[in-house]
């Protein structure tokens, strides 16, 4: 791989001027009779948000705050991958590669970052320090999209492994992921186990292997989207509970995923043209998935919500971000039958995750040596429960540091 270059975020003023003009010209729909968030985004909320975006939000101030971190861009096989690299404060910081998901960006990991790099400042021990690398995953934000058809989540680990080993000189390192980052830990651990000290995850989605009984594989059985690998009638009560949660997610929340998997280009036209539409598409999920309901702005400030949307808008990367869904859907990957990821794995299980983790299922696919069931928290636990997650990461990796 070629050299790594420092990077400063500096969006051209012409991009910001164009954004303002589009926001000022937003054409609003009528509201459905039920109102509120019952049929998607709340129209009054969106109008208030766009007014705030125009009159109070300051991208240049947010840009300045983001530039306090050390940003870099590496050329990996022709792909420019953006990342933050923050070295730890301690006697022997351990390298840790942390992956975000959709519709996130790297900013969702910034609250936990200092807790990991300087644990002593947060009541921890200096010897638990990490040197943290946080990328914009390929196709997101300031990272290039792959021009290659079929570049799904299973192809990401090879690029990130090059960054960590050849680029940054870390022969062994840990990884952590939620959402797509959690997906990516599976092929990461399967294809690159020799370079991983450990895997930590807080989200375990269903697409890892075929869990059907032989009788469930009749081609005449009709199956709902996303349930291809699910048993028709799980006999184990814990697994029944898990798959019922998956089913509920697909029915109540899965429309966005179906569209992004099967017809991403159509959706991208609208989201690339309308910043208000893009914000509605993204922020509706932040509210729904946080589990905080109407209090979600107590968890995510308006500036944070808009900055996350801005990272999709100013880089024109919505189309390439959602390609991850379609390429992974049309070119799927799963663990071979009977295979398991043998890298030591830690799991932080949260009750309000989209499909809460079941321990026996995690152990089916990963070598789980550390598992914690938390009483509160959900899909965005890496931000919502940052101090708790930082301690979980320190505890899990502590015995692995010298392995």
Beta bridge partners of 347: 201, 371
10 given a catalytic annotation: no
Q: Active site residue: 242, 379, 383, 392, which one?
A: 379
* Cα–Cα distance measured from residue 381 to residue 249, given in angstroms and rounded to the nearest whole number: 18
Beta bridge partners of 345: 199, 368
User: By the 8 A CB rule, do 115 and 386 touch?
Assistant: yes
Nearest to 83 by CA among 198, 196, 1, 183: 1
Task: Please tell me the total number of residues recorded for the chain in this structure.
Answer: 403
Q: What is the CA radius of gyration of the chain?
A: 21
122 given a catalytic annotation: no
Q: Active site residue: 179, 200, 303, 383, which one?
A: 179
What stretch of H or E contains 347?
Answer: strand 341-349
Q: Active site residue: 160, 173, 325, 366, which one?
A: 325
Over the range 14-31, which residues count as b (16 or more CB within 10 Å of their CB) and which as e?
eebeebeeebeebeeeee
Pairing of β 130-135 and β 196-201: unpaired
The alpha carbon dihedral of 230, 231, 233, 238 has a sign of negative
User: By the 8 A CB rule, do 106 and 100 touch?
Assistant: yes
Phi, psi torsion values for 234, nearest 5 degrees:
-60, 130
379 given a catalytic annotation: yes
> Catalytic amino acids?
179, 325, 379
């Amino acid at each position: 791989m070629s050299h790594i270059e420092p990077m400063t975020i500096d969006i051209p003023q012409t991009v910001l001027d164009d954004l303002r003009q589009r926001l000022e010209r937003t054409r609003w729909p009528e509201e459905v009779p039920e109102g509120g968030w019952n049929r998607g985004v709340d129209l009054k909320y969106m109008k208030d948000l766009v007014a705030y975006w125009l009159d109070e939000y300051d991208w240049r101030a947010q840009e300045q705050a983001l530039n306090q971190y050390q940003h870099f861009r590496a050329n990996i096989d022709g792909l420019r991958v953006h990342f933050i690299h923050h070295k730890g404060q301690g006697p022997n910081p351990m390298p840790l590669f942390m992956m975000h998901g959709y519709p996130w960006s790297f900013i969702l990991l910034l609250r936990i970052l200092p807790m990991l790099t300087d644990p002593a400042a947060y009541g921890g021990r200096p010897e638990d320090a990490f040197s943290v690398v946080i990328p914009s995953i390929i196709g997101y934000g300031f990272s290039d999209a792959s021009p290659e058809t079929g570049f799904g989540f299973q192809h990401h680990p090879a690029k990130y492994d090059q960054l960590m080993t050849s680029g940054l000189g870390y022969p062994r390192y840990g990884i952590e992921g939620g959402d797509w980052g959690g997906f990516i830990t599976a092929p990461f651990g399967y294809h690159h186990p020799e370079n991983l000290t450990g895997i930590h995850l807080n989200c375990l989605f269903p697409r890892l292997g075929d869990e059907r009984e032989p009788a469930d594989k009749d081609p005449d059985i009709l199956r709902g989207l996303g349930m291809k690998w699910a048993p028709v009638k799980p006999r184990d009560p814990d697994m029944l509970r898990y798959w019922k949660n998956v089913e509920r997610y697909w029915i109540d929340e899965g429309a966005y995923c179906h569209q992004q998997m099967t017809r991403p280009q159509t959706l991208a036209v609208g989201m690339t043209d309308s910043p208000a539409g893009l914000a509605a598409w993204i922020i509706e999920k932040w509210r729904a998935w946080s589990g905080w309901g109407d209090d979600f702005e107590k968890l995510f400030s308006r500036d944070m919500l808009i900055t996350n949307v801005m990272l999709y808008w100013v880089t024109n990367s919505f189309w390439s971000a959602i390609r991850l869904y379609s390429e992974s859907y049309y070119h799927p990957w799963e663990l071979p039958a009977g295979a398991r990821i043998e890298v030591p794995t830690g799991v932080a299980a949260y009750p309000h995750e989209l499909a809460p983790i079941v321990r026996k299922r995690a152990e089916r696919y990963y070598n789980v040596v550390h598992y914690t069931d938390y009483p509160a928290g959900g899909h965005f636990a890496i931000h919502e429960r940052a101090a708790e997650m930082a301690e979980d990461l320190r505890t899990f990796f502590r015995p692995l540091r010298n392995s």
